Structure 1
Amino acid sequence: MPDRVVQPAARQRRRPTKQGVVLSEELIVATALRLIEEHGADALSVRRLGRALGADPSSLYRYFRHTDDLMLAIADELIGRTLKAWRPTGDWVADLRELGLRMHAGALAQPRAAMLSAHRVTGRAHEIQAVESILGVLRRAGFPDPEAVRIYHAFVDQSLAFGALDSAGTALPKPAREAEAEVWRSTYGRLPADTHPHIAATAPHLVATMRSSSYPAALELLLAAARTRLDHIRAGTVD
């Protein structure tokens, strides 16, 4: 999908496609998300999208200059879905906890799209809203601006990284997921204490916990560290 610029006023398609729908950015993004989950990154071609929409592939240039432009729109749509039902309450720890868990759940709901988009910076409306909202939560909590940005950066990167990591596991075929989970019991759970004392001592816990995501625990560790940092700031003991 090469660069191609169409003036905004000319973007709206006035006639329905062969399937009786009127093209829009929202429809194209929703269709692309569905195709990505079915076919992976290969879904982002104008030919495949055109077929799915019942439209001439060239009509997509009215809305997106190229496939990377569409990818940024998809990334921003995922952010928008996360923000849709999230409202800060004034309890900054609870607010960030809820948002982080929503981000992680949103990635698992669209695992292939999450893997493709987690590293992108869109500069679009939903991302801007997210940056503004999270920084607002942190600044209102009392973090100085440099600290607010530092914690914002760690919080978002942690959420996106775990979302992509766990999405990659979710995207594996079920037999492969089950085989990997079984390794903790069949291999690590049977290592002898005389050669691997630490693994042997913790084996029941490894078997019980390593099958699931560690994101909730990692999120709590980050929030606890941020809370301690804020306490030091308020006490004037920060280096």
Structure 2
Amino acid sequence: MAKRVVPETARRRRRPTKQGQVLTHELIVETALRMLREHGEAGLTARRLGLALGADASTIYRYFRGMDDLILAIADELFGHAMADWAPTGDWRADLRDLGLRIHHAYLAHPQAAVLTASRVTGRPNEVASDEMILGILRGAGFPDAEAVRVYHAFIDQSLAFAILDAATLALPRAAREADEEVWRDTYARLPASTHPNIAATAPLLVARMNDSAYPIALDMLLSSAFRDGSSGTSR
């Protein structure tokens, strides 16, 4: 059964933790992000989080209904990182491109957290504010509502899908990641034209490109397609 969350005014500790900190929702989330970065998903437990905070594990449940509730808070925090200090310019394509890259960057800054959270829907303030902003940009550019939702759907799913894909690569042990990167040079670049003419013809380009994220290219393709198919506004 999910635990009852104590209201903020009632759950605040009256004295600091062993580390001299007063626990807050934000402190717990940031500490959990750090633990994910340092130890991965397996290292994030209530007991370990309590130790890192200098508090009893049960204290976590005064702020969150359970560990999944904390995971959703982490997901929303990453959206907050992406949106921090951002303001639209009025150029819808430039604004969406910037937002997409910021979302992608925010997740890749915390790859273990990205793999754990990018597929979740939180309905929390930062996520909701991001969605409101994206839909407002599209509707303000003249997209009919149905088209605005279609482009929004593709835009946000593409952003998060690439976040998971690229974060999963960054979350690999360094030796495994480097071994994967070398496959393009050590295997693909050596395939003979007699059996693999298309790979052989493009091998130098594959070696140069395939270890980089395709997200910026895919994002540009999406926005170009959206411009051709849906926008009738003047802010183009």
Which segments of structure 1 move beyond 2 Å, counting only runs of 4 or more? Answer: none
| Residue of structure 2 equivalent to 1:205 | 205
Tell me how far 1:45 sits from its aligned partner. 1.6
| Residues 32 and 43 in structure 1, CA contact (< 8 A), matched pair in contact too | no
CA distance in 1, matches of 2:137, 2:43: 37
| Residues 114 and 164 in structure 2, CA contact (< 8 A), matched pair in contact too | yes
User: What does the per-residue CA deviation read over 1:126-183, in whole Å, with 9 as the maximum and x for residues that have no partner?
Assistant: 0110010000000000001111111101000101110110011111122222211111
CA distance in 1, matches of 2:159, 2:146: 20
| Residues 147 and 230 in structure 2, CA contact (< 8 A), matched pair in contact too | no
Partner AA of 2:225 in structure 1: A
CA distance in 1, matches of 2:98, 2:29: 26
Identical positions, percent? 63
- Please state whether the residue corresponding to 1:193 is helix, strand or coil: coil
Tell me how far 1:7 sits from its aligned partner. 3.3
CA distance in 2, matches of 1:44, 1:139: 40
Partner AA of 2:97 in structure 1: R
Partner AA of 2:2 in structure 1: D
Indicate whether 1:99 and 2:99 are aligned: yes
Structure 1 residues without counterparts, runs of 5 or longer: 235-239
CA distance in 2, matches of 1:85, 1:97: 16
| Residue of structure 2 equivalent to 1:127 | 127
| Residue of structure 1 equivalent to 2:51 | 51
For these two proteins, the number of residue pairs brought into alignment is 232
Structure 2 residues without counterparts, runs of 5 or longer: none
| Residues 97 and 219 in structure 1, CA contact (< 8 A), matched pair in contact too | yes
Matches within 5 A, 1:86-235: 86-230=86-230
| Residue of structure 2 equivalent to 1:6 | 5
Moved more, 135-144 or 2-11: 2-11
Tell me: higher relative CO, structure 1 or 2? Use CA pairs within 8 A at least 6 residues apart.
2
| Residue of structure 1 equivalent to 2:17 | 17
CA distance in 1, matches of 2:6, 2:176: 48
Q: TM-score with structure 1 length normalisation?
A: 0.94
CA distance in 1, matches of 2:90, 2:166: 30
| Residues 6 and 63 in structure 2, CA contact (< 8 A), matched pair in contact too | no
